[in-house]
Amino acid sequence: MILPACGESESLDMVLIPGGSFELGIDPQHSKEFFNFPQSAALNARPAQKLQLPAFYMDRFEVTYGDFMRFKPRAKYDVASPNEPIRGVSWYEADAYCLWTGKRLPTEFEWEKAARGSDGRLFVWGNDFELSRANLGQTVKPVGYSKTDLSIFGVSDMNGNVAEWTRSWYEPYPNSDYKDDNFGKRFKVTRGGAVHKSEHGFMKEFTMIPYRNFAPAASRFWDTGFRCARSVKAPRR
């Protein structure tokens, strides 16, 4: 189900993510898929567990440069097309934009459900890594460019193109006994794979849906943008 957001443009259309449970995190059986250091080993994304979420709306596409320029018309960013996802913006700028449109940033749990569906898949298309299915090359592409980088709910570009800010602080998962000195209200979680990850040598690990990264909210990164979400209003009684 698609809900036009604010009537501004197709790029701001929203997808209804139904309420219910989904598998959050990484199961120990997949531990061999990850390298052995805290983030890529997915220790911060365990234990795998069923999590209930209420229904919510998620932007079908990442916020574009053209979208963002309506909010911040004097800004200048190094992009080739107004349909490319905006990047090089801080968490504060992303949060402000979403609030300006009457929406908000998604939580990392909402982001994971919108990408993963309810069957625990590691990529939007399934459990096997396939390089050609998402934009993991050298150049950011316009939103929706990779037709196979599409979640089962119809949300685009969650495995590649640019990573995305979420609303969430970097905190331990429910029922987790993993310790990280970075936990607390110090860093915001970013999600999703991005271009150029092959240069780091861990491309598959960094593009798996359960992968969690984090960064200071004031930082700006060339490979990180965002999309917005919206809560479903409860009916009046």
The DSSP string of 45-69 is G-S-EEEEE--EEEESSPPBHHHHH
What pLDDT does residue 14 have?
96
Closest CA to 157 of 77, 86, 97: 86
CATH fourth-level superfamily of 2-231: paralog of FGE (formylglycine-generating enzyme) (3.90.1580.10)
What pLDDT does residue 233 have?
82
What tens digit of pLDDT does each residue of 146-186 get?
999 999 999 999 999 999 999 999 999 999 999 999 999 99
| Residue 59 burial class via C-beta count within 10 angstroms: exposed 0-12, middle 13-18, buried 19 and up | buried
Task: Measure the CA–CA gap between 205 and 159, rounded to whole angstroms.
Answer: 11
Could you tell me which residue, 12 or 96, shows the higher pLDDT? 96
What pLDDT does residue 125 have?
96
Q: What residues does 2 pair with on adjacent strands?
A: 15
What value does the mean pLDDT take over residues 178-203?
A: 83
pLDDT at 42 over 80: no
What tens digit of pLDDT does each residue of 47-85 get?
999 999 999 999 999 999 999 999 999 888 878 899 999
Q: Which residue has the tokens 């993993």?
A: 178
Residues whose CB falls within 8 Å of the CB of residue 30, separated by 6 or more in sequence, listed in order:
42, 122
pLDDT at 9 over 90: no
What tens digit of pLDDT does each residue of 212-230 get?
999 999 999 999 999 999 9
Confidence band, pLDDT 50/70/90 cuts, at residue 197:
low
- How many C-beta atoms lie closer than 10 Å to residue 62's C-beta? 28
The residue type of 8 is: E
What tens digit of pLDDT does each residue of 92-151 get?
999 999 999 999 999 999 999 999 998 999 999 999 999 899 999 889 999 999 999 999
Task: Measure the CA–CA gap between 115 and 155, rounded to whole angstroms.
Answer: 7
Closest CA to 53 of 127, 130, 110, 137: 110
Confidence band, pLDDT 50/70/90 cuts, at residue 235:
low
What value does the mean pLDDT take over residues 184-208?
A: 81
Confidence band, pLDDT 50/70/90 cuts, at residue 205:
confident
Closest CA to 71 of 51, 42, 101, 116: 101
- Predicted structure pTM score: 0.89
Confidence band, pLDDT 50/70/90 cuts, at residue 29:
low
Confidence band, pLDDT 50/70/90 cuts, at residue 28:
low
